Chains A and B, each alone.
Chain A
C-alpha cells in the first residue's frame, strides 16, 4: 500500500529521532532550560535579538546557569544566513572532589561556585526545503573566555580552607548542528528535531533535541522541547536530560 507524503515525512522524522537519541543511563542528570527573548527584523535580510536563559541541573533542584545574549543575523542568500552573537554566562560550576592515591581518603574539595564567562560566536546556516520539511545545517565557531577567579578550596592534608585561583582561559569550540523542521499544514504545532556536535580537539558533547514550535499571531513564538546532552569521554559532567521552554517576542 502506497504511503502518503505526510506519512513518509512522519516516518522520516521518527527514524531520524530514533537514530540520534541513544539509550540513556540511570546515572544521568535532569534539568530545565527556560528562555525568553525578543527578535526584531530590520528588513528582509537583517534581524537582531536579545535573550535571557536559565538552566537547572541535579534533577531540577540546582541552578546551573543564567545567561544574557544578543545576536544578529544576515541573509547572504535565500538559503544561507550568517550570524554573530555575544553571551554573558553566569555559571554555577560543579564541585570538584579529589582523592589520595589510596582512592579512599579525600585530597581536595572545591565546592561549587558561581563564575562569569564571556562568549562570542559567528555562524553560517545553510537550509534546504523538501516540500514542508526544512533541513538546515549550522556551523558555529564560538570562543569562550573565563576570567580568573579566587575561590575556596579545602585541602584535607592541611585541614584548612585555602584560596585557590581558577586561572583565566579561553576555549574554542566548533558546533555543528543538523536540524529538521516540519511545517504541518493546518496544524498549530510544528515539530522539529536536531543533533549538534560540540568539538574541540575531541568530541566534547552531543545534543539531541526533539520538540514542537508554536507561533501566535506571528509575534509570539513558543518552543517546547526535550534535550538529551551526551558528554564526551573525557568530560566530568554527567549526561543530562533537559526539558526546554522558549519564548520569543517578535516585533
Chain B
C-alpha cells in the first residue's frame, strides 16, 4: 500500500519540480560586443542611438540582452583593455555572442585602434573559440555600412576588406553569419542618397534645441530611426539563420 503511493508522490514531486525548473532552463543571454554603431548611449546624447538599443526591445522576457559594445573599440583594443575577459568568464551554455567590429579595426588613421586584417581575423577566431569553449553560440556580423553613394546614386561598399574577413572566418569556422554590411547597403539604396540621411545622426542648425549648430557630418552613427532599421535587419538575419533565438522574438 505504502510503496506505490510514495512512488506516485515522488513522481508527482519530480514533475512539479521540472515544471518549475523549465522556464529557468529557457533563459538565454545575448552578449553583444562591438563598436559605437552598436553600443548604448546615455539619453543626454539623444538622438544618437546604437542599433543594439532598439534591438533589445524585440525579445521576450526570457532573453537578457547584455550590450557590451563600446565606442571607438576595435577587436584588438576590446581585448587589450580587458573588455572581453569578464564576458568570457560569464558565458553560459546556450548564450549567444553577437560580434560586430570593423569600423575601428580598419581605421589606419587611428593607430591606437587600427588592427591589420590578419590580426583582425585572429581576434575574431579567438572570440568564436572562446565562446564555443563555454558552449555559447557565436554569431559573426559584418560591420554595418557607412553611408556613401557615387554620383549616379549607387550605395557603395565601405568595408570591403574587413567584411570579407568576417565572411571568410564565418565560412571556414562554420559560424552563423549575419551580413549586415550587405543588408545595410541595400537599405541605404532603397532610401536613396538624399533620404538615407534620415537614418543618421544629422541635424540642421536650429532643428534641435540641444544642438543649436546642428550636426552637419555623419556617415556612420545612427539616430533612433536609423538604429531601429539596422536592428530590424539583424532580427531578420536571426530568423533567416533559423537560430533558436528566433523563437524568442516577440511577434504581435
Q: Do A and B come from one complex?
A: no
Chain A residues in contact with chain B, CB under 8 A? none
